[in-house]
Amino acid sequence: MVISRRQVHLYSFVILALVLPLCFLAGLVWRPTFAPVDASADALFQRAGFAPSLTWENQELWRKPNLLKQDQIQLRAEKVFATDGDDIFLNLQPQSDLQLPDVLVYWQQGTPPENLSKTSILLGALSGASNRQFLIPAAMQGQTGHLLLFSQATKEIISAFPLEPDLTQPKR
């Protein structure tokens, strides 16, 4: 390598060794801070179709958990009331890891369909073995129907669980 090129490389590495740590520290100092999500964001989440965050203090569990079984899939279903409102939630927890791609939970009134219809109500996504809480819409309350597990990746209904109307019944 020519001596003039070696000098250019030496000076550029010295400059980079000084400038890059300064840029990193400046980035740390001037990075923006974001406020944590609090109760004021619940309206946005509800508008987007998510259940508002509930703590154990402001919910009342309906004490009759049901075990829904179909083929190799078992779901534990519980009804939960929000004590500060009229909202009803359905807790679903798979009893083992769901080894299915992109599972969405729908509710369909009446008999279990072969394909999703336009009247099916999307409740939300379900994956793994974690407990999920879904808001029960007014159209579903007190109605007999089926919970449908739909794989978005394969575009087919994986299982249909009959859902008793007492799991969707509002408070009396």
Q: What is the pTM of this model?
A: 0.61
What single DSSP character describes residue 117? -
Q: Assess contact for 89 and 133: CB atoms under 8 A.
A: yes
The alpha carbons of the chain give a radius of gyration, in whole angstroms, of: 26
**Residue 46 has what pLDDT?**
63
Cα 111 to Cα 147: distance, rounded to the nearest angstrom: 11
**Residue 63 has what pLDDT?**
47
**Residue 99 has what pLDDT?**
75
Tokens of 10: 């030496």
**Residue 23 has what pLDDT?**
95
DSSP string, 10-68: HHHHHHHHHHHHHHHHHHHHT----PPP-GGGHHHHHHTTPPPP--GGGEEE-S--EEE
**Residue 75 has what pLDDT?**
78
Mean pLDDT by 10 residues, the chain (172 residues): 89 96 94 76 64 48 57 75 70 78 83 79 80 79 83 83 75 62
**Residue 27 has what pLDDT?**
94
